[in-house]
Structure 1
Amino acid sequence: MKTLLSLCSIFYFLNSFSQVDYLSKSNKFSERTYTYLRIKKEKNLKFDFYRPKKTKGKVPLLIYVHGGGFSGGDRKDKNSTAFAKEMVQYGYAVATISYRLTMKGKGFGCATNSALKIEAFNDVSKDISYAVKYFLRRKKRLKIDADKIILVGSSAGAEAILNLAYVYNNKILDPNFKFAGIIAMSGAVTSIDKITTETAIPTQLFHGTKDNLVPYNIASHHFCKLESVGYLNLFGSKAIAKKLKSIQKPFYLYSVKNGDHSWNTRPIYQCKNEILDFLYYDILKQKNRQIETEI
């Protein structure tokens, strides 16, 4: 195993001078919108698909899931589109997806029943699964590598993808299907019991240590008190990384000392090199590294 210490802020400042390994580099790409699940005309679920133009053959796919407390956010918001337009230039196909905002009008704080929060995690995991199923059925036409599908999520999106990979009882995708990796920004799960040597996949985790909404280590969601209806114990990035470390599986924990919940989107702009490094070495090259970084 290998431990790497780096400073994201320095990498960001020296971006034009640093050497990063990637698939290819081109600023030309195609963009198209697809409907992956038909519910009602006004509620059909869609994704925007970005693919590099000059890349031949099948390419890895990044599926980006936006944040917003399961009540807001949009696949076309500035963070989603910025991530897609950045990563597609490095040879990856990217899909920014819509999902059901089941908590709209209900909130997601301590006054919201914890059972509804868990239901929201599962509902979005279900929607993502349908999007993945759409891609798997059309992998040849869309020219994506079905063995290299990576989940990326911010805040609520990070909670949803971690839930999908490590908690959710999936009845939509083939039991033999496995994601190639996860990039979670300020995410957490309700349990780490199902993270095993069989289920573990390369996982990159960005998190501020003073996040007051989604716990960095182990604490209640929104730090709700035990007696509140919204009390829900969560295992954040530190706890997930510790579990992966204990079973000798690859992870990349990026901790921001005293960082707040704004780190659910800041890696998109400030940690491009770390993301590219993880994608290339831990997912494509399967180096099986264990990296812990703190800034």
Structure 2
Amino acid sequence: MKSNCLFIKVLIFSTIIIAIITLNGKVSAQSVKVFQNMRYAEKPKGFEQDTSSDRLLDLYLPQVENNKSYPVLVFIHGGGFAGGDKNAKGNVLLCQKIAEKGYAVVSINYYLYLRQHKIAGASAGVNMKDAVPADGKFHPGLETAVKHAAADTEMALQWIKDNATTYKLDANRVAISGGSAGAMTALYTAYQSKQQILPIRCVVNLWGGLANTDGVNASSPAVLTFHGDQDEIINVAYAKALHQKMTAVGSSTSEMHILQNMGHAIYNYIIKSEINRIDEFLQKCMGIKPDA
């Protein structure tokens, strides 16, 4: 009899805890629904066999029982504009973890310009392994690759706008993020593209960079930057230059975290240790109450 009573008490306690978690908008991994390979724009011509360059997205939706729309994070994978895919393990785990915090995550594939155009000297590794360029310019091939990726990102923003009602997406609370080449694309879209499809509330910059920060001003969205101090592909100087400009224009919400003794593409660390910090930053920028 005592064991039955104990079991009932444990069951009731567990139910209460689950209810509290659900009310707070924090959901379990089992409560995230993923819609895979949704087309956000017409397939690029000539790349029928290259799905990594196709305009497809995965939509991660937290399954919380309420009538609220989900704030949105767009995630853009890395790969030097020559490789990478939204289906890579680190990308999937990161998107899953952020969706568990109550966000709709839109993870995109996009046109990989440098996969289709082999241009000597155009890689991020060649252009960005040292200091930020004094003339504020990358190799023309790299600049073209960023612009192509940003153009596809804008198409994904249009998809979000067009499908907001269907998937309960809050088109007024959209952030943008990416790793490496994806972060370069996110930064370009937020600060240099002048897109007006949707307002970008903030940026999560994972070891990316800009050739120059001329587009950053007092009205620019805040940025949360993570960058390893031992990064040999995109120099940590890019993180410092961006944060210096953010500070100069008065962006008190922006943060920079230099990760000691770490290199490039450290997704495992971010997934293990920094999801809560990302969540707190997004809440702050989007005006989300912790219990919303």
TM-score normalised by L of structure 2: 0.77
Aligned 8 A contact 1:125 1:163 in 2:
yes
- Are 2:162 and 1:137 equivalent residues in the alignment? yes
1:51-62 to structure 2, matched below 5 A, reads: 51-56=61-66, 57-62=68-73
Aligned 8 A contact 1:185 1:267 in 2:
no
Change (3 A) 1:275 1:283: same
Percent identity reads 23
Residue 117 of structure 1 is matched in structure 2 by: 142
The letter for the 2-side match of 1:24 is K
Please, which of 187, 202, 210 is the counterpart of residue 208 of structure 2?
187
1:1-80 to structure 2, matched below 5 A, reads: 23-26=25-28, 27-33=30-36, 34-38=38-42, 39-40=44-45, 42=48, 44-56=54-66, 57-80=68-91
Aligned 8 A contact 1:206 1:263 in 2:
no
Range with bigger deviation, 113-122 or 127-136? 113-122
CA distance in 1 between partners of 2:209 and 2:65 (Å): 35
Please, which of 147, 150, 165 is the counterpart of residue 175 of structure 2?
150
Tell me how far 1:194 sits from its aligned partner.
1.3
Tell me how far 1:263 sits from its aligned partner.
3.4
- Are 2:229 and 1:209 equivalent residues in the alignment? yes
The letter for the 2-side match of 1:178 is P
Please, which of 93, 102, 120 is the counterpart of residue 104 of structure 2?
93
Tell me how far 1:262 sits from its aligned partner.
3.6
Aligned 8 A contact 2:227 2:236 in 1:
yes
The one-character-per-residue Cα deviations of 1:258-285 (angstroms, maximum 9, x if unpaired) are: 4322436632333122112212234334
Aligned 8 A contact 2:59 2:106 in 1:
yes
Aligned 8 A contact 2:27 2:64 in 1:
no
Aligned 8 A contact 2:90 2:267 in 1:
no
- Are 2:247 and 1:261 equivalent residues in the alignment? no
Change (3 A) 1:169 1:265: farther
The one-character-per-residue Cα deviations of 1:140-188 (angstroms, maximum 9, x if unpaired) are: 1111111111111001101110011112243xx44xx320111011010
Number of paired residues? Answer: 245
The letter for the 1-side match of 2:276 is N
1:200-279 to structure 2, matched below 5 A, reads: 200-217=220-237, 236-249=238-251, 250-263=253-266, 266-279=269-282
CA distance in 1 between partners of 2:224 and 2:58 (Å): 23
Change (3 A) 1:264 1:167: farther
Tell me how far 1:202 sits from its aligned partner.
2.0
RMSD of aligned residue pairs (Cα, Å): 2.6
The one-character-per-residue Cα deviations of 1:75-132 (angstroms, maximum 9, x if unpaired) are: 1110111012111112111111000111014461539x81000111111011000000
SS in 2 for 1:161: helix
SS in 2 for 1:210: coil
Aligned 8 A contact 2:26 2:102 in 1:
yes
Larger relative CO (CA 8 A, sep 6+): 1 or 2? 1
Greater strand share, structure number: 1
Please, which of 191, 197, 201 is the counterpart of residue 218 of structure 2?
197
Greater helix share, structure number: 2
Residue 128 of structure 1 is matched in structure 2 by: 153
Q: Any stretches of 5+ residues in structure 1 without a counterpart? A: 1-21, 218-235, 287-295
Tell me how far 1:133 sits from its aligned partner.
0.5
Aligned 8 A contact 2:201 2:285 in 1:
no
Tell me how far 1:25 sits from its aligned partner.
2.7
The letter for the 2-side match of 1:127 is D
TM-score normalised by L of structure 1: 0.76
Q: Mark the structure with the bigger radius of gyration.
A: 2
